[in-house]
Amino acid sequence: MRTFNFSAGPAVLPEPVLRRAADEMLDWHGSGMSVMEMSHRGKEFIGIASKAESDFRKLLAVPDNYRVLFLQGGAMAENALIPMNLLGEKTSADYVNTGEWSKKSIKEAGKYCKVNVAATAADRDFTYVPAQDTWQLDPNAAYVHICTNETIGGVEYNWVPDTHGVPLVADMSSHLLSRAVDVAKYGVIYGGAQKNIGPAGLTLVVVRDDLLGHALPITPSAFNWKEQADNDSMLNTPPTYSIYIAGLVFEWLLEQGGIEAIEKRNIAKAALLYDYLDQSRFYSNPVARGDRSRMNIPFRLADAALDDAFLKGAQQNNMVQLKGHRVVGGMRASIYNAMPVEGVQALVAYMKEFERTHG
């Protein structure tokens, strides 16, 4: 039996994708090879990678003047690679601090440039997105960096900042492909794959083509976006099997009706859980209502002494990975695209029952 897996990432994948991967493991489409065994320069894999890219472009309606790169290293590597690739002659960058992932990005960027924290949500413990009119933007910044969905704090942007022509760079790791995005409003969109896209070890970078070619001389070639773009992400051997799985996820998303359909479903799933949290005195979520994440929903029990019993009971009811991140404690339900509504219903039902017996 498949469990309901609320992990923040690596995370649940669509069952039809896993079934197909299993079926094709020894012999992909009569090639006599697993995708894992294919040369990245062979026609079979080039076809797989090219289809994955075009399906991704279709899903997000990526404009032609953006390049889609399939890289390695995860968002944490990009925290260094973003300044390395974008600074050029500039010496500073703006960052908005909305929580744990913003903090990591800010700390890492400081190795390469002056970091201006244009706005921070520290005053209310990172439970909201600071309004645009409070941002102190520097018109000479190389770029403005935001994290559009804080996986740990459960804070999500529902609007796109106006950066007055300075390129907007967004870490979308934990909500990319969960909702419509107007790509043209961003200079760079990036994310690790291990939430809504595929296996850990694959990193997507969507970059406007005029932003290529500004890398610092210390940028490793394997992570130089321009060099990778010029080589269709095959300057070095790409993470081929992860790209294949991501491609299957993209096909599955298109079969579901694309981003519009999945976004509707995500809104409904999140509402199920938030509506229940908001009427309860036993559970609570600290995030400002307009800034709540649809993907990662942290919540607390009124009595933290019950946390262990809650988790143990969840496990017995076939629900795993509900423990909150150690930084914030409590619980967290990550309900990515591939989490079926039945999983959220089961969670709410369990929470009700737990409240009834322990409240």
307 is annotated as contributing to ligand binding: no
Least CB distance from residue 281 to its own copies, whole Å? 30
Query: ω into residue 130 within 30 of 0, thus cis?
Result: no
Least CB distance from residue 25 to its own copies, whole Å? 4
| Distance (Å, whole) CA 140 – CA 166 | 8
321 is annotated as contributing to ligand binding: no
For the record, the structure tokens of 8 come out as 């923040």
| Distance (Å, whole) CA 79 – CA 186 | 17
101 is annotated as contributing to ligand binding: yes
Least CB distance from residue 228 to its own copies, whole Å? 11
| Distance (Å, whole) CA 44 – CA 31 | 8
**Those residues with Cβ within 8 angstroms of residue 66's Cβ, 6 or more apart along the chain or in another chain:** 183, 206, 207, 208, 209
**Those residues with Cβ within 8 angstroms of residue 271's Cβ, 6 or more apart along the chain or in another chain:** none
Angle at the Cα of 220 from the Cα atoms of 50 and 43, rounded to 5 degrees: 20
303 is annotated as contributing to ligand binding: no
Q: Which is nearer to its own copies, 79 or 163 (CB)?
A: 79
Q: Which is nearer to its own copies, 98 or 242 (CB)?
A: 242
195 catalytic per annotation: yes
Marked catalytic residue, from 28, 171, 252, 291: 171
Type of residue found at 46 = I
Could you tell me which of 199, 201, 98, 109 has the C-alpha nearest to residue 150? 98
Q: Which is nearer to its own copies, 157 or 241 (CB)?
A: 241
Least CB distance from residue 275 to its own copies, whole Å? 27
337 is annotated as contributing to ligand binding: no
Type of residue found at 50 = S
Least CB distance from residue 204 to its own copies, whole Å? 14
Q: What is the pairing mode between strands 66-71 and 296-301?
A: unpaired
Q: What is the torsion angle, in degrees rounded to the nearest 10, for the CA atoms of residue 307, residue 308, residue 309 and residue 311?
A: 90
Could you tell me which of 41, 81, 229, 243 has the C-alpha nearest to residue 169? 81
| Distance (Å, whole) CA 149 – CA 271 | 17
Q: Which is nearer to its own copies, 279 or 316 (CB)?
A: 316
357 is annotated as contributing to ligand binding: no
Q: Which is nearer to its own copies, 165 or 217 (CB)?
A: 217
Q: Which is nearer to its own copies, 88 or 220 (CB)?
A: 220
171 catalytic per annotation: yes
Residues at the interface with its own copies (CB under 8 A): 1-3, 5, 7-13, 15, 18-19, 21-23, 25-27, 31-34, 36-40, 42, 72-77, 79-81, 108, 111-112, 192, 194, 198-202, 217-218, 220-223, 235-242, 245, 318, 320-321
352 catalytic per annotation: no
Marked catalytic residue, from 28, 55, 94, 101: 101
151 is annotated as contributing to ligand binding: yes
Q: Is 344 helix (H, G, I), strand (E, B) or coil?
A: helix
Least CB distance from residue 4 to its own copies, whole Å? 9
Annotated binding site: 41, 101, 151, 171, 194, 236-237
Annotated binding site for L-glutamate: 41
Annotated binding site for pyridoxal 5'-phosphate: 101, 151, 171, 194, 236-237
Residues labelled catalytic: 101, 171, 195
